[in-house]
């Protein structure tokens, strides 16, 4: 089992802060009317992306969801390209064509977010298949929500990966709601990890507000996948602090009543506490992280604002390899 | 006449039909307390309760399959799929089951169901939440396809769709939901298969669907100032298609422009163009013009999306081309 | 628990013989070149259809598969209409428009076979929903194969039925192969009943070659569904004695090597033995059944052969309620 | 030249490409020992082993998704869906993912994959196993769509499709699998986007796809005896479309008949008709004619199915109508 080192712990901590601050800034400029489109904030769930991606290198692959900023940052994507993408600028990761829902960078193993719930799960299985056929040691990780576990693609993708013992890890971020629909309404089980039994693979529940716990569980699953032991289904119990998307107050379906309890378990101070207990983090280092992230974010917003939008000719580019 | 929003007109239609017929019910994602992603079921849960306003799991194939199964035993379900892009995960049920069971089973099957979805772009929702895929459904015998362009039509057509004994694909354009328009107070329906001439004119016929009807009316207004008189015809249902009304207009003006938001290639406009080429050939005085979305996935960038989606300026330019006025 | 009565046992026995003989006759006339299309024989699996449908009335609903003749006969469809359908005659259940793959009769609660694997599962959930909304006491039963349990519709349909506690029963006929693909290749679990755990519903394994056993298990599941207890997943372990379809010898994928062992467990003589042991069946009664079924089949083939094909005008009928 | 069957030509193409490039592999249901439902992968398992000839579960969305995922990390998968009717359960992956990732992700994504499926009727396989749905894919920017009509084209086009860096939908007609035709021995490819004039003529242009090419050639033969000279053009790829070759023929003959097996309404022929109406309007001497399947689900009855599917007699009758010879 992967022991949590100081280096990894600090990486997770900083990564979680990067996610949190990036999203807070994105929300701010969105609310100021600077961004088109929609945003689904990941705030509150940072421990999952950080705990899982702490085990991944640039050559490992991930697929993500509509709530994907956190996965992308944890996978190593930079603020400039991400912020520019939200601003729909040509310097964005998708040259302004994808937006919040579709940030991706193939060079960093970020195979992108599917805006279609569950759509990334079979794609991750396929990436794992490609890795296996090439004889690589990488893994493919798919992130998705509780709601996604009811759609056909979830079932088909995991069954395929299990039948073929592919180096894949499936991470369900169970934040208790599919949009406005509570888990108890959309399925009749309590623990989504139980669905692993349908595929003969390990299913593990983890506290998604506890980065160290996620780190441990993910390390085991990813290690097993790399070692040829096949896929694992991880269920991380977590909570989004915001509504489904910016503009949803969460009041229609009880989310607002649950939120205070979960906010007390904010994963960032929780990990910070652990780090300080282990003397891995000083107040000064903490401040430095915050300052560094803030500086980077200021620069990213500046970069995005100054970047040009796509040119009209870009409309017809990138549909096919060569223009037809 | 009072003015209400397109989505309010839809809620009224559902409410009235649910009161009229206890077999009518609604199922879909987040249609309950949340009132639907675009508030087109708002308030119905309070009035009709959770048995008849059913929040589903995210499972569009099951939503449509369940609607069909319920219809087969005598219900009249209205299934909501939200974005038309999500219909891609339910195509087997829609195309292989819903559309075909009546025929395949020799005529006995009861298939009174409506499948609502919203299409179209314009809000930077990007490639997977902005498509216009109605042509697919028109290509499938067994389905009817409705695309209202005004609150009044939306209400009257949805009521007819619910009462219809055939499966109806009901496509709403997202940009229309908050558009207000006059809607009569009392009970009324609009038959499926009846086009409406939204504006009369003599120089050119614009056949426009859904969001393009409004843009075409604006273009016609503009062109009138230039002395070009456009007739704007809204088919309202793409199948059954009121060829008579449309072709009468084409025969009158001798010029045809087709406007829709779907991409051109194999869009519904191709069928309309083919019909004109077959049935009004001798009346056409100029090559027809299609004003459609560019052949690209829908981009996120508002600047690009505006170029992707046909605008009223594109309609106007198309008409000028059609009548031979290059500007 | 439903005790097996003499009446029900004899009904099952005769039903199984009806299925067997119907299919043997269909194969005969197919091989003689009298039928168009394809046939997927159900022979060997008769105990499943009989054991389940023994609990159903005409108002209960079923959905079926490409291998559907057995379900239809057990649900009460007559030989004349079925044989005429295979012969593509206007007197067939589908007026010659459906054929072997799509035999159905709404009046008898036979909602038809989906030629698309898994397609009937959500439809059965919907029929159960309709029943529930109407306040009825009927149930909806969906039959499908082992291969179908890997497709999205299986997952979505059962999840929906479970979440809504619908009066539905899902019957997996695990005959060890999806076309040519052994179960061990298409999924990594041994018992498909385990998939029930993914939905929080009971999952039961039963010997699909033993009609009495199927009767018992189905009775419990159907009773539970009628009583408001929600759905059950039944896995009946069975075997088709023929290849995937007529013309497939089963030699390419090892089916032929397994067949002899399974044929020794032929469900019809097995149930016959039980009946005789209980003195519920005399040799004379047995002969009478065979003779009656043979007579009916002779008449059905005669009926089909003499029936007219559809008229050209029928092509455009039945697409919509009224011609458009 | 040696003659081999259409399906043998496909097997050769796969075999050669797998030898040439170790990144090519095939996945689909029953493609291994069974050799595919129509034997179009027969013998490949023995040659290339189970890692590269992968028998899948029945899970078409996963098959296409897995193919895409593998492509994204650098493989060149060929996915088999068998019946085009089954594409309905994989439409999300095909349309929302495969077709769009390159664009949506700003141009970086590697999407070199081929999705094979067979369409068409004629064998009493009924409504869910006989459709012709290629128009759907042509409607989706990001996809290429290939429909070969001869063994030679099948091989050359499949090899090009596998080497192409864009996703290709490769639609085979079931009735063609056992048709024999001349196929060169050595290495060759046929570019995507190049139509072929299968027969030269001067009175009318028949644009025919897939199974309708052979029927159109037979009709042309017959019509020649009546003194009517038909040019038969096979686009071979519906997108990219070789408009040049097709329109050159239309300009020459002034008359256009479009023949395909899909139902008429919103079929690919509508697009072809629209293009002709836009780009060859001044050359058309008569209303165009579409010869397509009747607008019904495909019936089981051979008698009805024969009426549903367009036959060579229908093509001949259409041409006579087109050239003004009523018989
Ligand atoms: C196939 C499909 N159906 C519906 C939607 C609309 N939708 C987007 S996110 C969402 C809820 C997803 O819930 P969950 O999987 O739990 O993820 P979370 O938002 O909680 O992170 C829904 C219904 C979609 N994008 N795709
Ligand atoms: C979606 C879909 N994919 C593939 C097929 C082709 N097909 C028909 S039957 C079959 C095998 C089904 O296996 P199983 O579910 O175990 O049923 P069995 O034939 O064994 O009764 C396949 C692959 C289909 N009809 N539908
Ligand atoms: Mg959730
Ligand atoms: Mg099986």
The model's pLDDT over A295-304, given as tens digits with 9 standing for 90+, comes to 999 999 999 9
Most A CBs within 10 Å, among C146, C150, C198, C230, to test the A interface: C198
Per DSSP, the three-state class of D309 is coil
D chain contacts of residue C38, beta-carbon cutoff 8 Å: 124-125
Which ligand 1 atom sits closest to the C-alpha of A173?
21
d(CA C268, CA C47): 8
Q: What is the maximum span of chain C, computed from C-alpha positions, in angstroms?
A: 61
DSSP B161: H
Give B166's contacts (C-beta < 8 A, 6+ positions apart). Answer: B102, B111, B112, B142, B143, B144, C320, C321
d(CA A257, CA A240): 13
Cβ pair C163:A187 closer than 8 A: yes
Look at residue D327 and tell me whether its pLDDT is greater than 60: no
pLDDT digits (tens, 9 = 90+) for D75-127: 999 999 999 999 999 999 999 999 999 999 999 999 999 999 999 999 999 99
Q: Is A66 in the pocket of ligand 1 (CB under 6 A)?
A: yes
D chain contacts of residue B276, beta-carbon cutoff 8 Å: 277
Q: What is the pLDDT of residue B124?
A: 97
pLDDT digits (tens, 9 = 90+) for B136-187: 999 999 999 999 999 999 999 999 999 999 999 999 999 999 999 999 999 9
Per DSSP, the three-state class of B295 is coil
pLDDT digits (tens, 9 = 90+) for D262-310: 999 999 999 999 999 999 999 999 999 999 999 999 999 999 999 999 9
- A54 contacts A218 by C-beta, under 8 angstroms: yes
Taking CA–CA distances from C245, the nearest residue in chain D reads D37
Q: C195 touching B, CB under 8 A?
A: no
Q: What is the pLDDT of residue A53?
A: 98
pLDDT-based confidence at residue B233 (cuts at 50, 70, 90):
very high
Cβ pair C152:A150 closer than 8 A: no
Q: What is the pLDDT of residue C3?
A: 85
Give A284's contacts (C-beta < 8 A, 6+ positions apart). Answer: none
**What is the whole-number distance in angstroms between the Cα of residue A67 and the centre of ligand 3?**
10
- B164 contacts B191 by C-beta, under 8 angstroms: no
B chain contacts of residue A185, beta-carbon cutoff 8 Å: 55
**Total CB pairs under 8 A between chain A and B:** 124
Per DSSP, the three-state class of C206 is strand
Would you identify the CATH topology of the domain B196-323? Rossmann fold (3.40.50)
Q: Is B326 exposed, middle or buried (0-12, 13-18, 19+ CB in 10 A)?
A: exposed
Cβ pair D64:A122 closer than 8 A: yes
Catalytic residues of B: 129
Of the candidates B193, B138, B177, B168, the residue with the CA atom closest to the CA atom of residue B77: B168
pLDDT-based confidence at residue D325 (cuts at 50, 70, 90):
confident
Q: What is the pLDDT of residue D326?
A: 53
pLDDT digits (tens, 9 = 90+) for A203-212: 999 999 999 9
Of the candidates A74, A75, A94, the residue with the CA atom closest to the CA atom of residue A83: A94
**Total CB pairs under 8 A between chain B and D:** 150
Would you identify the CATH topology of the domain D3-182? Rossmann fold (3.40.50)
Residue of A188, A200, A230 with shortest CB distance to C199: A188
Q: B255 touching A, CB under 8 A?
A: no
Per DSSP, the three-state class of C181 is strand
- C171 contacts C154 by C-beta, under 8 angstroms: no
Alpha helices in D123-183 (DSSP H): 134-138, 151-163
Q: What is the pLDDT of residue C114?
A: 87
pLDDT digits (tens, 9 = 90+) for D168-179: 999 999 999 999
Of the candidates B216, B242, B209, B244, the residue with the CA atom closest to the CA atom of residue B230: B216
Q: B110 touching C, CB under 8 A?
A: yes
Q: Which two tokens stand for residue C40?
A: 């997927």
CATH number of the C6-295 domain: 3.40.50.970
Q: Is C179 in the pocket of ligand 2 (CB under 6 A)?
A: yes
Q: What percent of chain A has a predicted confidence (pLDDT) above 70?
A: 99
Question: Which ligand is nearest to the Cα of residue C118, counting in written order?
Answer: 2
Q: Which two tokens stand for residue B282?
A: 């001798």
Q: What is the pLDDT of residue D167?
A: 98
Taking CA–CA distances from B305, the nearest residue in chain A reads A315
Mean pLDDT in residue range D146-167: 98
Torsion over CA: D271, D273, D276, D277 (sign): negative
**What is the whole-number distance in angstroms between the Cα of residue C179 and the centre of ligand 2?**
6
Look at residue A133 and tell me whether its pLDDT is greater than 80: yes
- Phi, psi (degrees; rounded to nearest 5) at B290: -110, 130
C chain contacts of residue B105, beta-carbon cutoff 8 Å: 93-94, 97-98, 102, 104-106, 112
Most C CBs within 10 Å, among A155, A161, A185, A202, to test the C interface: A155
Taking CA–CA distances from C324, the nearest residue in chain D reads D295
Per DSSP, the three-state class of A62 is strand
Torsion over CA: D105, D106, D112, D116 (sign): positive
Per the prediction, chain D carries an average pLDDT of 97
Q: D130 touching A, CB under 8 A?
A: no
d(CA D256, CA D248): 11
ipTM for this prediction? 0.98
Per DSSP, the three-state class of D190 is coil
Weakest mean pLDDT among B258-267, D46-55, D317-326: D317-326
d(CA B7, CA D268): 34
Q: Is A148 in the pocket of ligand 1 (CB under 6 A)?
A: yes
Q: What is the pLDDT of residue A113?
A: 87
Mean pLDDT in residue range A136-158: 98
Q: Rounded to 10 degrees, what is the CA torsion of D151, D153, D159, D162?
A: -110
Look at residue A306 and tell me whether its pLDDT is greater than 70: yes
Q: Where in chain D are the domains?
A: 3-182, 196-323
**What is the whole-number distance in angstroms between the Cα of residue A253 and the centre of ligand 1?**
15
Q: Is C122 in the pocket of ligand 2 (CB under 6 A)?
A: no
CA atoms within 13 A on the CB side of D156: 21
Cβ pair C99:D124 closer than 8 A: yes
**What is the whole-number distance in angstroms between the Cα of residue C147 and the centre of ligand 2?**
6
Per DSSP, which regions of chain B are E strands?
A: 3-5, 24-28, 53-55, 76-83, 114-119, 144-146, 168-173, 180-182, 196-199, 204-208, 230-234, 237-239, 256-263, 289-293
C-alpha pair distances (Å), C283 with each of B241, C10, C46, C166, C211: 65, 13, 21, 43, 20
CA atoms within 13 A on the CB side of D306: 11
d(CA B27, CA D263): 31
Q: Is C148 in the pocket of ligand 2 (CB under 6 A)?
A: yes
pLDDT lower than 50: segments of chain C: none
Per DSSP, which regions of D200-310 are E strands?
A: 204-208, 230-234, 237-239, 256-263, 289-293
Taking CA–CA distances from D86, the nearest residue in chain C reads C116
Look at residue D312 and tell me whether its pLDDT is greater than 80: yes
pLDDT digits (tens, 9 = 90+) for B96-145: 999 999 999 999 999 999 999 999 999 999 999 999 999 999 999 999 99
A chain contacts of residue C199, beta-carbon cutoff 8 Å: 187-189
């Amino acid at each position: 089992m992967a022991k949590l080192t100081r280096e990894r712990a600090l990486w997770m901590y900083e990564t979680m802060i990067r996610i949190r601050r990036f999203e807070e800034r994105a929300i701010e400029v969105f609310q100021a009317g600077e961004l088109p489109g929609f945003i689904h904030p990941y705030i509150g769930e940072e421990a999952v992306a950080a705990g899982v991606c702490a085990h991944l290198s640039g050559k490992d692959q991930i697929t993500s969801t509509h709530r994907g900023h956190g996965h992308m940052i944890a996978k190593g994507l930079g603020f400039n390209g991400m912020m520019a993408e939200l601003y729909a600028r040509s310097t964005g990761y998708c040259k302004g064509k994808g937006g919040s829902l579709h940030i991706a960078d193939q060079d960093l193993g970020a195979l992108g977010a599917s805006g279609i719930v569950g759509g990334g799960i079979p794609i991750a299985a396929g990436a794992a298949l490609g890795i296996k056929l090439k004889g690589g040691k990488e893994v493919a990780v798919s992130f998705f929500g509780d709601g996604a576990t009811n759609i056909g693609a979830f079932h088909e993708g995991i069954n395929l990966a299990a039948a073929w013992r592919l180096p894949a890890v499936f991470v369900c971020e169970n934040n208790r709601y599919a949009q406005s629909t509570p888990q108890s309404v959309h399925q009749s089980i309590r623990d989504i990890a139980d669905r692993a039994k349908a595929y003969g693979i390990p299913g593990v529940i983890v506290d998604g507000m506890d980065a160290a716990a996620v780190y441990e569980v993910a390390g085991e699953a990813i290690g097993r996948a790399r070692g040829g032991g096949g896929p694992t289904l991880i269920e991380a119990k977590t909570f989004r602090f915001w509504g489904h998307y910016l503009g949803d107050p969460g009041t229609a379906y009880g989310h607002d009543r649950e939120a205070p309890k979960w906010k007390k378990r904010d994963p960032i101070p929780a990990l910070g506490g652990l780090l300080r207990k282990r003397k891995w983090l000083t107040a000064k280092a903490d401040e430095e992280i915050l300052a560094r992230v803030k500086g980077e974010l200021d620069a990213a917003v500046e970069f995005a604002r100054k970047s040009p939008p796509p040119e009209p000719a870009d409309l017809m580019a990138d549909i096919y390899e060569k223009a037809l | 006449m009072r003015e209400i929003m397109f989505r309010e007109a839809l809620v009224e239609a559902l409410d009235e039909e649910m009161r009229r017929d206890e077999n009518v019910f609604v199922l879909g994602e987040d249609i309950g307390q949340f009132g639907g992603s675009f508030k087109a079921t708002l308030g119905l849960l309070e009035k009709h309760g959770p048995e008849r306003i059913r929040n589903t799991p995210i499972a569009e194939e099951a939503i449509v399959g369940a609607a069909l199964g319920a219809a087969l035993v005598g219900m009249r379900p209205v299934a909501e799929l939200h974005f038309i892009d999500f219909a891609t995960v339910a195509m087997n049920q829609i195309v292989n089951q819903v559309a075909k069971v009546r025929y395949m089973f020799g005529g006995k099957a009861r298939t009174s169901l409506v499948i609502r979805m919203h299409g179209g772009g314009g809000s930077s929702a990007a490639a997977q939440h902005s498509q216009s895929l109605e042509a697919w459904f028109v290509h499938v015998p067994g389905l009817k396809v409705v695309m209202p362009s005004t609150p009044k039509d939306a209400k009257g057509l949805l009521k007819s769709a619910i009462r219809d004994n055939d499966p109806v694909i009901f496509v709403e354009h997202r940009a229309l939901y908050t558009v207000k328009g006059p809607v009569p107070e009392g009970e009324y329906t609009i038959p499926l298969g009846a086009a409406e001439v939204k504006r009369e004119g003599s120089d050119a016929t614009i056949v426009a669907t859904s969001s393009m009807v409004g843009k075409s009316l604006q273009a016609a207004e503009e062109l009138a100032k230039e002395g070009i008189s456009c007739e704007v015809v809204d088919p309202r249902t793409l199948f059954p298609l009121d060829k008579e009304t449309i072709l009468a207009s084409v025969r009158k003006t001798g010029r045809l422009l087709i406007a829709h938001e779907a991409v051109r290639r194999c869009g519904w406009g191709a069928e309309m163009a083919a019909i004109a080429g077959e049935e009004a050939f001798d009346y056409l005085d100029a090559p027809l013009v299609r004003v459609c979305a560019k052949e690209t996935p829908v981009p996120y960038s508002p600047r690009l999306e505006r170029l992707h989606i046909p605008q009223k300026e594109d309609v106007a330019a198309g008409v000028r081309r059609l009548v031979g006025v290059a500007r």
